[in-house]
């Protein structure tokens, strides 16, 4: 067990190295940052700045310097904000995390009961309707869903705030918007996992013993769904973070996604690097946690 964990940890470090390489590469692709920082300056000034900021060094050297800095938590100073980049990014991170986790929670809260019902009432109107409705959510662009929800609940019915991050109520619409994204797949998994076990022997035995139907379902069948659910939920996290970028813009949520989008527009390298790296780090950590949970929950692997 310990060696497994150790191997996973080693893998994590390697992945992080790869992540930093890609982060480094994105910005090399976009051309000369100095020309964009000071388009009107004479070439002599630009050349001097280029030299002093180290953009003339060979790529390998620049990369090594980059990694060395990251390890110390130094992503440089944001060109736009003129402050250290990493603290700015970290200040916004909880907002995005809160939104994403909430959306994930909402997704699970919807997917589990509906999935169970769909499996139990398989191929009935309920099943088909649930499938359809849930798929509807995932078939529209996220920003469109968001705008529609605003028009419906905030403008027409006036039950929720349009945008912002001022109160718990402001969390609702963005979370729902994001949740429409991830619910379908989770629902399918719950449903198919349930279907797998519903006819199995030990379930029938439990029924025969007189245990109530619902208890049987919830206790035994859900356990089967837990594993794939956890795995997929972890994978979905990355997708949700992508969706969060859009949701944050529509609902004016002061999160990391919006910060990065703005930074990309302004070619604010340090923020883009710090932001992308932190997001990737979160995804890697989440996947690692999921991996560990998987190991813990899966009896077969543990025995080995």
Partner 1 sequence: MAIGTLAPPMNAAAGPAFAEERSRVWRKLLRNPAAIAGALVLLVIVGAAVFAPYVAPHEPTRQSLIRRFTPPVWTAGGKPGYVLGTDQVGRDILSRMIHGARVSLLVGVAAVAVSLVVGVTLGLLSGFLRGRVDTVIMTVVDVTLSFPQLLLALAFVAALGPSLLTIIMVLGLTGWERYTRVVRAEVLALREKDFVEAARAIGASPARTLLRHLLPNTFSSIIVMSTLQVAQAILQEAALSFLGVGTGSAYPTWGQMISLGRDFVTVAWWLPTFPGLAILLTVLSINLVGDRLRDALDPRTS
Partner 2 sequence: MKRCAPLAVVLALLACAVAPMPAVAQAKDTLTVALVSHAPTLDPHMHFERVGILVNINMFDSLLHRSTKLQFEPSLATSWKAISDTVWEFKIRKNVRFHNGDVMTPADVKYSFDRVIDQTKKSPQYGNIRAIKEVKVIDAETVHIITDKPFPLLLERLVFFPIVNKKHIETVGDQAFGTTSPVGTGPWKFVEWKRDQLIRLEAFDQHWRGKPAFKHLIFRAIPETATQVAEVKTGGVDIIRDVSADLVPELKTHPQAYISSTPILRVHYVNLDMRAAPFDKKAVRQAANYAIDKSAIIQKMMAGLGTQVATVVQPLAFGFDPEVKPYPFDQKKARELLAQAGYPNGVDITLHSSSVAYRPVFEAMAEMLTEVGIRTTPRMWDPGPAWNKFFQAEGKATQGAYGTWGNYSVFDADAVLHPLYHTEPGGWIGKWFTRVEGLDKLIDEARSTVDQPKRKRIYAQIQQIIREEAPSIFLWTQYDTLGISKKVQYAARPDEWLWLYDAKPAAR
Give residues in contact with partner 1 (CB under 8 A).
Answer: 11, 14-15, 18-19, 21-22, 26-27, 29-31, 128, 132, 135-136, 138-144, 147, 151, 184, 188-189, 192, 195-196, 228, 231-232, 235, 238-239, 241-243, 245-246, 249, 257, 260-261, 264-265, 272, 276, 279-281, 283-284, 287
Residues 6 or more apart in contact with residue 200 via CB below 8 angstroms: none
The terminus-to-terminus CA distance of the chain in angstroms comes to 8
**Bridge partner list, 116:** none
Residue of 19, 150, 176, 244 interacting with partner 2 (CB under 8 A): 150
Query: Is the CB of 124 or the CB of 167 nearer to partner 2?
Result: 167
Sign of the C-alpha dihedral computed for residues 36, 41, 43 and 44 taken in this order? negative
154 HSE (CA, 13 A, CB side): 18
Q: Which does 154 bind (CB under 5 to 8 A by kind): partner 1, partner 2, none?
A: partner 2
98 binds partner 2 (CB under 8 A): yes
Residues binding partner 2: what is the number (CB under 8 A)?
64
Residues 88 and 73: their CA atoms lie apart, in Å, by 12
Residue of 70, 85, 86, 88 interacting with partner 2 (CB under 8 A): 88
Site string for partner 2, 160-199 (x = CB under 8 A): -xxxxxxxx-xx----------------------------
Residues near partner 2, by CB under 8 A? 30-32, 35-36, 39-40, 42, 78, 80-83, 88, 91-92, 94-95, 97-98, 101-102, 104-105, 108, 147, 150-151, 154-155, 158, 161-168, 170-171, 222-223, 226, 229-230, 233, 249-252, 254-255, 258-259, 262, 264-267, 289, 293, 296-297
């Amino acid at each position: 067990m310990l060696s497994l964990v150790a191997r996973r940890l080693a893998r994590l470090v390697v992945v992080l190295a790869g992540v930093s390489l890609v982060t480094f590469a994105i910005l090399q692709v976009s051309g000369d940052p100095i020309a964009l920082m000071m388009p009107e300056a004479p070439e002599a000034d630009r050349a001097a700045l280029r030299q002093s900021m180290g953009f003339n060094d060979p790529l390998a050297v620049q990369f090594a310097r980059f990694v060395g800095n990251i390890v110390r938590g130094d992503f440089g100073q944001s060109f736009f904000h003129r402050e250290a980049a990493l603290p700015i990014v970290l200040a916004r991170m909880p907002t995005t995390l809160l939104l994403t986790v909430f959306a994930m929670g909402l997704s699970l809260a919807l997917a589990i009961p509906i999935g169970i019902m769909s499996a139990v009432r398989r191929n009935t109107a309920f099943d088909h309707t649930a499938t359809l409705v849930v798929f509807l959510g995932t078939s529209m662009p996220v920003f469109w869903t968001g705008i529609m929800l605003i028009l419906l609940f905030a403008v027409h019915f006036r039950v929720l705030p349009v945008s912002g991050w001022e109160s718990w109520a402001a969390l609702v619409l963005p979370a729902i918007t994001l949740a429409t994204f991830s619910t379908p797949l989770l629902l399918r998994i719950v449903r198919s996992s349930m279907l797998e076990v519903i006819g199995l022997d030990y379930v029938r035995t439990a029924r025969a013993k007189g245990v109530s139907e619902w208890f049987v379902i919830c206790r035994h069948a859900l356990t089967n769904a837990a594993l794939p659910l956890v795995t997929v939920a972890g994978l979905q996290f990355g997708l949700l973070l992508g969706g969060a970028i859009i949701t944050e813009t529509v609902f004016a949520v002061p999160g990391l996604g919006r910060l990065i989008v703005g930074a990309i527009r302004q070619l604010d390298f340090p923020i883009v690097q710090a932001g992308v790296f932190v997001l990737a780090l979160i995804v890697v950590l989440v996947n690692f946690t999921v991996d560990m949970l998987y190991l813990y929950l899966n009896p077969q692997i543990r025995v080995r």
